[in-house]
């Protein structure tokens, strides 16, 4: 994209509205560059409702900024970067939270309004939480991770008060109310646009925001741009400084970098790591790199079908991965290695942590022969094209290395808009993906990714009653405050996951953000996406 075309397009977007022509011109003139945040990224949302089927990671960003939840997190500083505080909460739609032994009661802010001016009531909260536990798929599983599974748990006390009843003691319940999924919707508006086949109005909210959040979607062209305008009546916190966010999809990393370097864009966060290193060295932009909380990039294998149902094949792949080449040639040091733990290294009560595999082609060949595949086999290696900057060169290096042990790999590039849907079919034989647990506890990650009972991100279809028992034991021990039992169970499920190796941790990625020097207010959140509410342009 040429500079003049980018500026022309963003100017057109900035002027876009549903009001009359003269008002458009007047609004565009009044809208100063200082009050507009221009973001460029490789890919954008395929759905702006977190409850939608197959909503991709960029869709989380829109939902986070356009909807409120009852509560959110306070911030702390980690290595000089504002970072969400896992253990401290603040009010968002609620003005007060009273947590008892088996329930939590929330008083709503009386001045809270949805984007259309409708007051937010306890009935909207209940309907929204009922929706989250009922639509199925990712949202419902996320709620269940905090023992929030039944509509009966959400009780309207009066118009401004709602109670959440606990099914059991679970330390994840309150934190689970602060993630993206329990967003509060304008139930009256969504119901008007629901149908018999779509009782929760998912088709409407796929393309229309219906929240009370700090921003509202004024324009969305899938694959091209999202424009969000500030909600000047937002009651969830201090009014943001940025009035308008223009988020452009620019597929070429070179073009995104050029737009940043020329000052035509304010922020980009998915450039190749090489670019981030070079931009940091140049000193012209602000570069922030923060490790994913509770997250890894990994190679996953479908363990239900040959050849990856054979543990020795999986171990052979783990020995064939060119870990250090990936660190050097793809990541340029902007990640934490999750491989090569020295023999005898004690297992930590933590996640993520390194496994003991290292690149050893001779060992990998030996295991392939023992598994009955001395001449190898053919397979596909799939990745999310929406994050091709890391995924594509990573897959090429893995392809080259696996070829040395006889595994002939065809790389399968899946568009970002359909990646989540394809991944959740649990049919991909070999793939790379990133998973970062929103609640930063080891057992939470393993509930999502390894538990054999309906775990949506157990995309390897791995089943181990022994490992499930360790995960369930850790959840119970945490709720009961039994530190000894908890630590034993965490170490046990980590050890077993490395032994059976249905997925191979590669590295703990960094969230890398490049910003103009006059842009401040970046905060790291568990969902790894941008929070526009804190940004400011000097």
The Cα 47–Cα 397 span in angstroms is 32
The whole-number pLDDT of residue 74 equals 98
The residue extents of the domains of the chain are 3-65+201-269+512-537, 71-187, 295-509
The Cα 14–Cα 28 span in angstroms is 6
**Intra-chain end-to-end CA distance of the chain, in Å:** 27
The Cα 58–Cα 51 span in angstroms is 14
Residue 76 above 90 pLDDT?
A: yes
Residue 481 above 60 pLDDT?
A: yes
Whether 288 contacts 268, CB under 8 Å = no
Nearest of 50, 54, 52 to residue 66 by alpha carbon: 50
- pLDDT (mean) for 212-237: 97
Residue with structure tokens 């008083």? 107
Considering the domain 295-509, what is its CATH architecture?
Roll (3.10)
What number does CATH give the domain 3-65+201-269+512-537?
3.40.190.10
Identical fold at 3-65+201-269+512-537 and 295-509?
A: no
pTM, full prediction: 0.88
Superfamily (CATH H level) for 71-187: Dipeptide-binding Protein; Domain 1 (3.90.76.10)
Tens-digit pLDDT profile for residues 39-72: 999 999 999 999 999 899 999 999 999 999 999 9
Residue 36 above 60 pLDDT?
A: yes
Residue 512 above 50 pLDDT?
A: yes
Q: What is the overall mean pLDDT for the chain?
A: 93
Whether 535 contacts 242, CB under 8 Å = yes
Residue 462 above 90 pLDDT?
A: yes
- pLDDT (mean) for 202-211: 97
The whole-number pLDDT of residue 14 equals 40
Lowest mean pLDDT among 269-273, 314-318, 354-358: 269-273
The Cα 200–Cα 190 span in angstroms is 7
The whole-number pLDDT of residue 477 equals 97
Residue 370 above 50 pLDDT?
A: yes
**Long-range contacts for 33-36 (Cβ within 8 Å, ≥24 apart)?**
34/537, 35/241, 35/242, 35/243, 35/244, 35/537, 36/242, 36/243, 36/244, 36/245, 36/246
Nearest of 221, 109, 215 to residue 160 by alpha carbon: 109
- pLDDT (mean) for 520-532: 97
Tens-digit pLDDT profile for residues 78-114: 999 999 999 999 999 999 999 999 999 999 999 999 9
The whole-number pLDDT of residue 26 equals 37
Secondary structure element (H or E) that encloses residue 511, with its range: strand 503-515
Q: Residue 23: how many CA atoms within 13 Å on its side-chain side?
A: 5
- pLDDT (mean) for 377-397: 96
The Cα 502–Cα 498 span in angstroms is 8
Backbone dihedral angles phi then psi of residue 286, each to the nearest 5 degrees: -90, 125
Whether 184 contacts 156, CB under 8 Å = no
Tens-digit pLDDT profile for residues 16-25: 333 233 333 3
DSSP state of 119: B
Share above pLDDT 90 across residues of the chain, in percent, rounded to a whole number: 91
Q: What is the DSSP string of 350-390?
A: SSS---S----HHHHHHHHHHTT-TT-EEEEEEEEGGGHHH
The whole-number pLDDT of residue 538 equals 87
- pLDDT (mean) for 435-445: 95
Whether 186 contacts 212, CB under 8 Å = yes
The first and second tokens of residue 13, run together, are 């977007």
The whole-number pLDDT of residue 24 equals 30
Residue 308 above 90 pLDDT?
A: yes
pLDDT classification of 31: cutoffs 50, 70, 90: low
The first and second tokens of residue 66, run together, are 């356009």
């Amino acid at each position: 994209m040429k500079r003049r075309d980018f500026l022309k397009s963003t100017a057109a977007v900035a002027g876009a509205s549903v009001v009359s022509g003269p008002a458009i011109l007047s609004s565009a003139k009044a809208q100063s560059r200082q009050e507009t945040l221009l973001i460029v990224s490789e890919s954008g949302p395929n759905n702006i409702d977190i409850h939608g089927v197959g909503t991709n990671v960029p869709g989380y960003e829109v939902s986070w900024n356009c909807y409120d939840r009852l509560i959110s997190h306070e911030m702390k500083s980690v290595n000089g970067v504002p970072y969400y505080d896992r253990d401290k909460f603040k009010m968002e739609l609620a003005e007060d939270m009273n947590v008892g032994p088996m329930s939590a009661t929330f008083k709503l802010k009386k001045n809270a309004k949805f984007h259309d001016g409708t007051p937010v009531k306890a009935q909207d909260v209940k309907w929204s939480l009922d929706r989250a536990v009922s639509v199925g798929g990712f949202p419902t599983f996320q709620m269940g991770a905090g023992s929030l599974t039944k509509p009966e748990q959400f009780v309207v006390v009066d118009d401004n008060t709602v109670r959440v009843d606990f099914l059991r003691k679970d330390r994840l319940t309150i934190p689970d109310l602060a993630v993206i999924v329990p967003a509060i919707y304008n139930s009256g508006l969504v119901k008007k646009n629901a149908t018999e086949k779509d009782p929760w109005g998912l088709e409407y909210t796929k393309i229309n925001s219906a929240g009370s959040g700090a921003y509202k979607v004024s324009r969305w062209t899938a694959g091209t741009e999202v424009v969000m305008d500030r909600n000047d009546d937002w009651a969830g916190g201090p009014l943001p400084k940025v009035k308008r966010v223009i988020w452009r999809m620019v597929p070429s990393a070179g073009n995104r970098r050029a737009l940043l370097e020329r000052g035509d864009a304010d922020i980009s966060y998915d450039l190749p790591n090489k670019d981030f290193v070079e931009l940091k060295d140049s000193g012209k932009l602000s570069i922030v790199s923060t490790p994913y909380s509770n997250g890894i990039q990994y190679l996953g294998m479908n363990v239900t079908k040959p050849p990856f149902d054979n543990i020795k094949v999986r171990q052979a792949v783990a020995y064939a991965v060119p870990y250090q080449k990936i660190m050097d040639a793809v990541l340029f040091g902007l990640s934490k290695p999750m491989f090569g733990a020295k023999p005898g290294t004690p297992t930590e009560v933590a996640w993520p942590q390194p496994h003991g595999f290292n690149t050893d082609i001779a060992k990998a060949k030996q295991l392939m022969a023992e598994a009955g595949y001395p001449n190898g086999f053919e397979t596909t290696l799939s990745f999310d094209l929406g994050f091709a900057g890391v995924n594509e060169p990573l897959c090429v290096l893995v392809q080259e290395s696996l070829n040395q042990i006889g595994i002939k790999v065809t790389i399968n590039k899946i568009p970002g808009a359909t990646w989540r849907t394809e991944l959740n079919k649990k049919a991909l034989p070999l793939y790379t993906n990133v998973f970062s647990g929103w609640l930063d506890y080891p057992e939470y990650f393993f509930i999502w990714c390894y538990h054999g009972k309906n775990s949506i991100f157990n995309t390897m279809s791995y089943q181990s009653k022994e490992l499930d028992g360790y995960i369930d034991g850790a959840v119970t021990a945490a709720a009961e405050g039994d530190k000894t039992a908890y630590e034993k169970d965490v170490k046990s499920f980590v050890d077993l996951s490395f032994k059976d190796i249905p997925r191979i941790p590669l590295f703990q990625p960094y969230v890398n953000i490049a910003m103009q020097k006059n842009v401040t207010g970046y905060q790291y959140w568990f969902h790894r996406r941008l929070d526009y509410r804190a940004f400011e342009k000097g």
